[in-house]
Amino acid sequence: MKFLQMLKAKRLELEAQRAEFVEAMEAVTETAETEARTELNEAESAAFDEARTAVAGLDTELDTIDARIAELEPVAATRASAPETDAPQIMRRTEVADAGNVLELGRGAARDQALALLETRSAEVDTAIGDRVESLVRQGKSRNFDGDQIVRRMLITDSDAYRSAWMKMVTQAQPVLTVEESRAMQAWAEFRAMNITTDTAGGFGVPVLIDPSIILTAQGSLNPFEAISRIETITTDAWRGVSSAGVTWAFQAESATVTNGQPTLAQPIVNSHMARGFIPYTIEVGGDYPGFASEMSTLLAEGFAELKAQKFAVGAGDGSEEPFGIFTALDANTNVEVAVTTAGTFSGTDINKVWGQLPDRFKQNATWVMSHTVGNEVASFGAANNLSFVTVDLTQELETVRQRPVEFASYAPAMTTGTAAANRLVVGDFRNYLIAQRAGMEVELVPHLFDVTNNRPTGERGWFAHARVGADSINDNGFRLLQN
């Protein structure tokens, strides 16, 4: 079909244009980095914005062309193999017959197939999980995220062939796969080689709809951070952003030279780090996919969530190859630390002090985060200090302070006595604490576990599981840390 050839030629042309604009964006930031500048000048900002807008427009146009190509290719193939006829041809959207076809689909067609697959799995998937996956599938491409990776990961790992193959691969030492299962695992290997460059080699991707790194399942320990913080799902190794204190405005006399309101731009980076877990289980656990997947999903989520609950509170940061906890990140910036009025004591005066030093523009969306022991102490201060508690009845949970919500974190610093340095609580707008969750968890099978005393098999197998996540404050001024 000549029209199909024209579409493919147009696509190549648009891809070349897109590459030029991406190079232009990179050149602008590279110039600033070379000159050790943390801000873009007016001309650079304009050039960067113009290129970014052009890339977004081209992505939309490419998606449209990809969808049209996916519709026309099977028609062209049918015409090439069938005898000539005057009968009209009916175009039908291609269906993904097996996971082996996924990497051949255009972006638009792949996205449509992922949405259709999500609909067919709706009876198996919690509504909140389905909504989250759908939002990721519909996202386009940005500096930190490529929705197409989520789409193709989902089409491969949640295909019937891959799910049955995955269950065999992670439960049997010498699995025997069908032809369809082998094609699905080969598609996964090719996808992995194209998109995963720094993780441990050889892992089997957890099917998207039970993957804790994508669906963000609930956890046992108190971890409010995933509910109140800014979460960015990434398909790269780090989240890279641009932040600014804002443009300065002013009223001036007619014809007066405008005040330079150029903002100072920062380029925060939140690196992702590998979280690892080992999950032992008995050989008897293996069974049909639904029951097995449900059980394994719970095991995968529990340990991963417990680790995140700790690290988002007090993680030591990049030097220790783990996320920065909010208490750790703020403790490194003396500008946002607030000391109690009298060393070794803690009272409502200190609550008022830390609240007073939080900039006004962050108060409207502020949240208090503390441990239960600190919360119990705060509750005992009562309303006499004008703290605006919902209740001072100690049989009930402390809900608000200064009419802003209180969240409790299991790993937040506990209440201490004495004059030694210690963190008490954090208050601020947690949209300035960013969690960068790299999409995709993988597992590898350890076929047999052995008793440590006699070296005989225990009748158990094990999973080595790994995922990547990072976190850090991207604007310390949005918080205040109360310290002893």
Per-residue pLDDT of the chain (484 residues; tens, 9 = 90+): 566 677 777 878 888 888 888 888 888 888 777 777 777 888 888 888 888 888 888 888 888 778 777 777 766 665 555 555 444 444 444 444 467 778 888 888 888 888 888 888 887 787 888 888 888 888 888 888 888 899 999 999 888 889 888 888 887 878 888 988 898 899 888 888 887 655 545 678 888 888 888 876 544 455 789 889 998 888 888 998 876 656 667 788 888 887 766 666 677 899 999 999 887 877 776 556 566 666 777 777 788 888 999 999 999 999 999 999 999 999 999 999 999 999 889 988 999 999 999 999 999 999 999 999 999 888 888 665 555 554 445 456 778 888 899 999 999 999 888 888 899 999 999 999 999 999 888 888 888 899 999 999 988 888 888 899 999 999 999 999 999 8
From residue 377, how far is each of 47, 337, 396, 415 by CA, in Å? Answer: 54, 20, 13, 8
For domain 202-244+266-484, give the CATH number. Answer: 3.90.1690
pLDDT at 82: 52
pLDDT at 335: 95
Instruction: State the residue for tokens 């930031």.
Output: 29
Find out whether 137 and 114 touch, Cβ atoms under 8 Å. yes
pLDDT at 384: 57
Q: How many CB atoms lie within 10 A of CB 196?
A: 20
Angle, helices 107-120 vs 127-138, to 10°: value is 170
pLDDT at 216: 65
pLDDT at 220: 43
Distance CA(434)–CA(318), nearest Å, equals: 14
Distance CA(287)–CA(42), nearest Å, equals: 62
Tens of pLDDT, residue by residue over 32-58, are 777 777 778 888 888 888 888 888 888
pTM for this prediction:
0.70
Distance CA(405)–CA(456), nearest Å, equals: 54
- Antiparallel, parallel or unpaired: β 479-483 and 337-339: parallel
Q: What are the residues facing 400 on neighbouring strands?
A: 405
Distance CA(238)–CA(472), nearest Å, equals: 11
pLDDT at 130: 84
Rg (CA), the chain: 27
Residues 6+ apart with CB under 8 A from 16: none
Q: What is the dihedral of CA 8, 13, 14, 16, to 10 degrees?
A: 130
pLDDT at 78: 59
Find out whether 93 and 68 touch, Cβ atoms under 8 Å. no
Q: Identify the CA nearest to 312 among candidates 255, 356, 369.
A: 369
Q: Identify the CA nearest to 318 among candidates 446, 467, 470.
A: 470
- Report residue 419 CA to chain centroid gap: 39
Distance CA(269)–CA(250), nearest Å, equals: 32
Per the rule left: phi > 0, alpha: psi between -120 and 50, beta: everything else, 38 is alpha
Give the 3-state DSSP-derived string for the chain, with helices as H, strands as E and coil as C.
CHHHHHHHHHHHHHHHHHHHHHHHHHHHHHHHHHCCCCCCCHHHHHHHHHHHHHHHHHHHHHHHHHHHHHHHHHHHHHHHHCCCCCCCCCCCCCCCCCHHHHHHCCHHHHHHHHHHHHHHCCCCCCHHHHHHHHHHHHCCECCCCEHHHHHHHHHHHCCHHHHHHHHHHCCCCCCCCCHHHHHHHHHHHHHHHHHCCCCCCCCEECCHHHCHHHHCCCCCCCCCHHHHCEEEEECCCEEECCEECCCCCCCCCCCCCCCCCCCCEECCEEECEEEEEEEEEEHHHCCCHHHHHHHHHHHHHHHHHHHHHHHHHHCECHHHCCCECHHHHHHCCHHHEEECCCCCCCCHHHHHHHHHHCCHHHCCCCEEEECHHHHHHHHCCCHHHCCCCCCCCCCCCCCEECCEEEEECCCCCCCCCCCCCCEEEEEECHHHEEEEEECCCEEEEECCCECCCCCCECCEEEEEEEEEEEEEECCHHHEEEEEC
